[in-house]
Amino acid sequence: MCTPKSFEQTPASDAAVSPGTAPDLDLVLASQSPARASVLNASGIRFRTIVSGVDEDAALAAAEAERGDPLSPEQTALVLARAKAEAVAALPETRGSFVLGCDSVFEFEGEPYGKPHEPDVAFSRIRRMSGSTGILHTGHWLVDRSETEQAGHESSGAGRIRSAEVTFDVMSDEEITAYVATGEPLEVAGSFTIEGYGAAFIAGIRGESHTVLGLSVNALKDLLEERGRHIAELWRPNT
């Protein structure tokens, strides 16, 4: 794992919580994804960001070696989400906080599609996906460094997988070339987004839309409830 790369704090003006909720619940997002930050901001969630810098290939290789079998797309998403959360949770500046790691993997015809990085890879994948349906899996891992650790116990974690079907419109080679040229699909799971240029080619989504954006707020709510906390403790005031 690499040393976490950056540290950001949401504005202090957003630090208040709803009446009757605990004022000290702190959420750290272990991701540099603008889409995930946008989901939390749009949902009224207070959080700060610390990028994990995890070596994803090493984390996956270690997980496969431990299991003795290749990882499924769902397992891949959860392994990477856990690796990111645990890397950031190991930092002293997250003591007393909840740390959320997320990762997304697109499954198409049984194959996992991560970030293509290269234009020719993105073009080939999108051409295959044109007019078809795939599944976007998003893994969530929440590490609790709050009350449990303060009581002298080790931090604990739990995970959730959320999945949604994505159907693509039929795309011409010219459209695919133009989309790849924007650079948008190169660093996102599955070589597409639904909040940018790629929105023009999404014919339908079956499932929770936030899952396709890389972070399910409903999953976060469930994970917090397992620790006896409530999502409302993270809400910004409605001003």
* Positions marked active-site: 103
DSSP state of 214: T
Neighbours of 224 (CB within 10 A): 21
Q: Contact, 192 vs 198, CB < 8 A? A: yes
Amino acid 194 reads: I
Sign of CA dihedral 68, 57, 212, 118: negative
